Amino acid sequence: MDAQEQGFFTEADSAEVVIGRMQKCTDPRLKEVMAVIIRHLHAAVKEIEPTREEWMEAIMFLTETGHMCDDWRQEFILLSDTLGISMLVDAINSRRPTGASENTVLGPFHVDGVPELEMGTNICLDGKGEPMLVHGRILDVEGNPLEGVSVDVWQANDEGFYDVQQKGIQPDFNLRGKFTTSANGRYWFKAVKPKFYPIPDDGPVGKLLYKLERHPFRPAHFHYIIAKDGFDPLTTHIFDPDDPYINSDAVFGVKESLMAKFVPVEDPAKQAENGFDGLYYDVEHDFVLAPKGA
Amino acid sequence: MDAQEQGFFTEADSAEVVIGRMQKCTDPRLKEVMAVIIRHLHAAVKEIEPTREEWMEAIMFLTETGHMCDDWRQEFILLSDTLGISMLVDAINSRRPTGASENTVLGPFHVDGVPELEMGTNICLDGKGEPMLVHGRILDVEGNPLEGVSVDVWQANDEGFYDVQQKGIQPDFNLRGKFTTSANGRYWFKAVKPKFYPIPDDGPVGKLLYKLERHPFRPAHFHYIIAKDGFDPLTTHIFDPDDPYINSDAVFGVKESLMAKFVPVEDPAKQAENGFDGLYYDVEHDFVLAPKGA
């Protein structure tokens, strides 16, 4: 028996020795997942060659990240977000045929039980911010309009806060709504121009971002969950391409296909036609749903 | 500008996009370390292709591991230990010339301020367990005996507990001592036969071990820190090769060179000569110190 058969540790065979120890595991998926994790962890440590002090810094970073987590704050998800892992997991789980709209991260601010609204309703309940008209069509990959599609939308206000972050300041369900398309596949509603906002940056993840000379901001966006039976549900955003952080979303949520031009409308006739009494921003974006399991 | 220059996320370029975001970081070591971590994290996720539920399980595992950590318990170190990472970091930081004794992990039970004892002292203060005589030489790599070497030893008792785990049950400084070699380089002391013991297994790391069909036990051992000015300090164990867990140390601390035969001595003359009145175990092990920086 050589050292590896006996399970003795050597620097050269470190990953194989550890993987060899779980051969009796009866959960094949766990075994596979752990083998990949162990192989990459050991390879990373061998590349980094951390000092004992650096290893301890990593232990303390993870510990502080864990201690920051409670019922309201999930610092490990922030870590996953800021290292692009959340977006990668989202991408792996939402591969779609060409032409279908792309997914992006859900984020922590989705709320269930949002009011079902008539098309055209203004989801801004407190009248604050620059008005917008948001509209477009929901189509299948052949370009046919889809009827009976649920369009669940939510957004931050013009100061970068969601209603749930400002309870008592913003009305409940401010800047949220659920719409259902009719036969023409069209959706339209009134809203306000969203603003960029920071992810929580007062914990270990924020400190790491600043050490890396990164900022914590997400460019302005609208969130959507667009769903209809028989189609792959679409969780996505549309982004303002003129946002100062459009090229550096702290959580890597921006994809090229998710840009939607926010056009200022200065023509009084058009303003009046759409029920505005001054400047508003118009954003038109079509969403394309892929058939389930495509 | 293509998507990557703009920093937009794509599944294929995910790691490069994230690494590209920290180009302004002015700490070259942090930048290098994070690039390795990001590259291996993304590669692991691409190999694993986790479902969203599996990703959330990983988030919750890390969160629970963090929540288990307090002033007395370091669950992330246990995780590092049980995945062989602590041993790998130790190995990377203690590469030595051929012939020098090998390092192993320090463990959490070392105590400062241990009494300095005369050679031959019995470190067992409560008379419990099977007696042992532990002896050998401290040499340099040319085989010369080393004088003035500090030999700091500690061990678990015959039930597998260190004094600090049984305050009020074991006397303070039970099974601990610090010895200094004279010109012949010899060390010898009396002790008790140590027993295997489990690492703490009531947290997320223990649960993971059981899911992997691994056990939490460490084979019986003596701990040493052996130090002399001008030499690389040696932090190591010697192990009982007849221990039931010798081939499966939960923290991978066993190396072939750290085996030291625990020999039962049944000859009454030899027992009397060494100050025992019955069966004892004899373990002889030489330690070889490497010159500093070799």
- Whether residue A50 is predicted with pLDDT greater than 90 in this model: the reply is yes
Number of structural domains chain A divides into: 2
Say yes or no: B125 and B15 in one domain: no
What is the pLDDT averaged over residues B205-233? Answer: 98
| pLDDT confidence bin for B2, thresholds 50/70/90 | very low
Alpha carbon separation from B207 to A26, B65, B201 (Å, rounded): 15, 11, 7
**SS3 of residue A266 by DSSP:** coil
Alpha carbon separation from B285 to A210, B188, B259 (Å, rounded): 51, 10, 9
Measure the CA angle with vertex A259, ends A257 and A264; round to 5°: 150
| pLDDT of amino acid A6 | 59
Residue of A nearest to B213 (CA): A25
Say yes or no: B42 and B135 in one domain: no
Residue A54 lies in a domain: no
Provide the residue range defining the domain that includes B282.
98-200+212-289
- Whether residue B4 is predicted with pLDDT greater than 70 in this model: the reply is no
- Whether residue B7 is predicted with pLDDT greater than 80 in this model: the reply is no
| pLDDT confidence bin for A51, thresholds 50/70/90 | very high
What is the pLDDT averaged over residues B41-58? Answer: 98
What ipTM was reported for this prediction? 0.94
Query: In chain A, pLDDT over 90 holds for what percent of residues?
Result: 96
Whether B114 contacts B152, CB under 8 Å:
yes
Say yes or no: B168 and B37 in one domain: no
| Cβ neighbours for A99, distance < 8 A, ≥ 6 positions apart | A141, A288
Return the biggest CA–CA distance within chain B.
Answer: 88
Residue B145 lies in a domain: yes
And the tokens for B212?
Answer: 């992997």
| pLDDT of amino acid B1 | 41
With a CB-CB cutoff of 8 Å, which residues 33-92 of chain A face chain B?
33-34, 36-52, 54-55, 59, 62-67, 69, 74, 76-77, 80, 83-92
- Whether residue B10 is predicted with pLDDT greater than 60 in this model: the reply is yes
Distance in angstroms (rounded) separating the CA atoms of residues A265 and A262: 9
Which among B10, B34, B43 is the nearest to A40, CB-wise? B43
| pLDDT confidence bin for B6, thresholds 50/70/90 | low
- Whether residue A4 is predicted with pLDDT greater than 60 in this model: the reply is no
| Sign of the torsion formed by the C-alpha atoms of A197, A200, A205 and A211 | positive
| pLDDT confidence bin for B285, thresholds 50/70/90 | very high
**SS3 of residue B119 by DSSP:** coil
| pLDDT of amino acid B41 | 98
Interface with chain A: mutation pick from B34, B61, B89, highest number of A CBs within 10 Å: B89
The neighbouring-strand residues paired with A122 are A190
Say yes or no: B33 and B102 in one domain: no
Say yes or no: B25 and B138 in one domain: no
| pLDDT confidence bin for A294, thresholds 50/70/90 | confident
Interface with chain B: mutation pick from A70, A74, A89, highest number of B CBs within 10 Å: A89
Say yes or no: B170 and B240 in one domain: yes
| pLDDT confidence bin for B208, thresholds 50/70/90 | very high
Query: In chain B, pLDDT over 90 holds for what percent of residues?
Result: 96
Distance in angstroms (rounded) separating the CA atoms of residues B188 and B181: 9
| pLDDT of amino acid B293 | 82
Residue of A nearest to B1 (CA): A247
State how far residue A37 is from chain B, nearest Cα, in angstroms: 6
CATH of the domain at B194: 2.60.130.10
Residue B74 lies in a domain: no
| pLDDT of amino acid A3 | 45
Alpha carbon separation from B31 to A56, A211, B7 (Å, rounded): 18, 9, 17
Candidates A181, A189, A166, A173; CA nearest to A275 is A189
Residue A64 lies in a domain: no
State how far residue A163 is from chain B, nearest Cα, in angstroms: 25
Range A12-36 burial, b when 16+ CB lie within 10 A, else e: ebbbbbbbebbeebeeeebbebbbb
Say yes or no: A193 and A121 in one domain: yes
What is the pLDDT averaged over residues A189-208? Answer: 97
Residue B283 lies in a domain: yes
Residue B6 sits at the chain A interface (C-beta within 8 Å):
yes
Say yes or no: A138 and A242 in one domain: yes
Say yes or no: B118 and B261 in one domain: yes
Alpha carbon separation from A26 to A97, B70, B244, B252, B277 (Å, rounded): 36, 32, 23, 22, 50
State the average pLDDT for chain B: 95
Query: In chain A, pLDDT over 70 holds for what percent of residues?
Result: 98
Count the Cβ atoms, other than its own, within 10 Å of residue B115: 11
Beta-carbon separation of A65 and B62 below 8 A:
yes
Chain B residues closer than 8 Å to A91 by CB: 9-11, 14
In DSSP notation, A40-57 reads HHHHHHHHH---HHHHHH
Interface with chain A: mutation pick from B22, B83, B239, highest number of A CBs within 10 Å: B83
Which among A22, A62, A247 is the nearest to B214, CB-wise? A22
What is the pLDDT averaged over residues A117-132? Answer: 97
Say yes or no: A137 and A242 in one domain: yes
| pLDDT confidence bin for A107, thresholds 50/70/90 | very high
Say yes or no: A12 and A103 in one domain: no
| pLDDT of amino acid A293 | 82
Residue B205 lies in a domain: no
State the average pLDDT for chain A: 95
Say yes or no: A100 and A191 in one domain: yes
And the tokens for B89?
Answer: 């970091």
Residue A228 lies in a domain: yes
Residue B63 lies in a domain: no
- Whether residue B87 is predicted with pLDDT greater than 90 in this model: the reply is yes
